[in-house]
Amino acid sequence: MATATSKAEAIALKDKGNKAFKEHDWPTAITFYSQAIEKYDSDPAFYSNRAQANIKLEAYGYAIADATKALELDPANVKAYWRRAIANTAILNSQAALRDFKIVVKREPNNKDAKLKLAECEKLVKRIQFAKAIEVGDPPSAFQDLDIDSIQVPSNYDGVRLDDQMTQEFIDDMIQRFKDGKRIHKKYVYQIIKAVRDIVYDEPTMVEVEVEPKTTLTVCGDTHGQYFDLLEIFRLNGFPTDDHAYLFNGDFVDRGSWSTEIALLLYAYKWLRPGYFFLNRGNHETDDMNRVYGFEGECKAKYSEQVFRLFSESFSALPLATLIGKKYLTLHGGLFSDDKTSLNDIRNLNRHQQRQPGQSGLMMEMLWTDPQPTPGRGPSKRGVGLQFGPDVTKKFCENNGLEAVIRSHEVRMEGYEVEHNGKCITVFSAPKYCDTTENKGAYINIGPELKLDYHKFDAVPHPDIKPMAYAQSSLMSMM
């Protein structure tokens, strides 16, 4: 039974959590809120505050559970309804979000922001229902009627011209154009996307690479539209060459407001050096996420809806994993619900039969799962996928002759983290994520000896355009 002393100690811990939250140190905030709950588990504010910190860390499943607990303790807690609605919106559970937004508006009829979010959520639900109603089993290719050769680039176009092959000169010019806030001509956008779609379509679901003598392979995690931080990686670590290969492990787009710039630059390098530049698909290279988190809106704002459709088709062609030197399986999310899953299962997965990952299956798990510190498997903190423990990782590595699994998918305050007794490595390459999280970015250099060399870096200044500038605005409450 809680005492007055334990309650006072819990409030002091909550205050420490609030301080960490204000400093944008979400993991520390969660630690303090959790300690407060251990001392005194009957204060709804502790759960509601932890829900908001979990939202910041994209642990939406945990946020929903915390908000629900807060409402069990206090059914009139409007903040808890609001946070549960935001978390459900984030995992595209729009019907549940709609119910909670309606309750917020009913309890606070003069809350203009709540009314706006309710209206947006109602539109989203209708949009999803309409999309399902017109869905066809095997849609025609977005490239089918695209006559790129007939498109003329005007004589007054002030950038480097592109013929039928990518050049370093074009890439150098494109990098500068994007820094200056300019775009490339739509013909070149079409050429780049089509060339890369064709290249990656023919790659295996799990690309297998060796690190040759006197070469380096750099593995980068999520970049999420943070174009200027991507350029900082290249400035610090060197631009891609035939002696310096790169692997980008998914989530190139969404959230950050230079997602088209990142996607086009990475694609241009893939076209220029297809055997030395590798791209794994992430959970944000998917239609559902792109429609909510900004990439679709950005494509329409900067180019056209057709450009989004072309990117969407190219994303569905991307490999899902890369095996480095037969020692490191690199994939965006993590491991699997079945201990019997092997590298051969990944090799044999026909990703072209299923363009989007869905809610279950091997592709979904490769894109969505996360590690947990405790043994076994647990429900997803995100509300999608699952979590896997150190014993799962150990068994998978032993069964498949691996040194470790390298994955991304989650913010790490130091840019990377080595977990599961060294067998599970997370690398995240978007520092000061969404301009709100005080995390570093990181990348991993791997030489011919297959040793992992970790590098951390800080965010760099960027033009005054906010993250999620092109996203569904109901998610802005999460920023």
Q: What is the CATH number of the domain that holds 102?
A: 1.25.40.10
Q: Dump pLDDT digits (tens) for 243-285.
A: 999 999 999 999 999 999 999 999 999 999 999 999 999 999 9
Share of the chain above pLDDT 70, in %: 97
Give the CATH number for residue 421.
3.60.21.10
Active-site residues, by number, are: 284
pTM of the predicted model, to two decimals? 0.93
Q: Dump pLDDT digits (tens) for 356-374.
A: 898 889 999 999 999 999 9
Asked whether the beta carbons of 359 and 384 are under 8 A apart, the reply is yes
Q: What six digits make up the tokens of 467?
A: 């993250």
The whole-number pLDDT of residue 136 equals 62
Same domain membership, residue 256 and residue 380: yes
The backbone torsions φ and ψ at residue 209, rounded to the nearest 5 degrees and listed phi first, read -125, 150
Any domain includes 139: no
Average the pLDDT over 300-311 and give the result.
Answer: 97
What is the number of domains present in the chain?
2
Full DSSP string of 196-213: HHHHHHTS-SEEEE---T
137: confidence class by pLDDT, cuts 50, 70, 90: low
The whole-number pLDDT of residue 130 equals 75
Same domain membership, residue 118 and residue 162: no
Q: Dump pLDDT digits (tens) for 13-29.
A: 999 999 999 999 999 99
Pairwise CA distance, residues 324 & 320, whole Å: 13
Same domain membership, residue 27 and residue 57: yes
The whole-number pLDDT of residue 479 equals 47
Residues found in the chain: 479
Residue whose pair of structure tokens reads 């491991």 in the numeric block: 335
Quick check: 134 pLDDT over 80?
A: no
Instruction: Determine what percent of the chain falls in helix, strand and coil, rounding each to the nearest 5.
Output: 50, 15, 40
399: confidence class by pLDDT, cuts 50, 70, 90: very high
Any domain includes 239: yes
Pairwise CA distance, residues 284 & 288, whole Å: 8
Any domain includes 395: yes
**Average pLDDT of the chain, as a whole number:** 95
Q: How far from the centroid of its chain's Cα atoms is residue 284's Cα?
A: 5
Any domain includes 142: no
Q: What six digits make up the tokens of 90?
A: 């984030």
Any domain includes 140: no
What range does the domain containing 72 cover? 4-134
Cα separation values, 178 from 56, 165, 463, Å: 29, 20, 11
321: confidence class by pLDDT, cuts 50, 70, 90: very high
Q: Dump pLDDT digits (tens) for 341-353.
A: 999 999 999 999 9
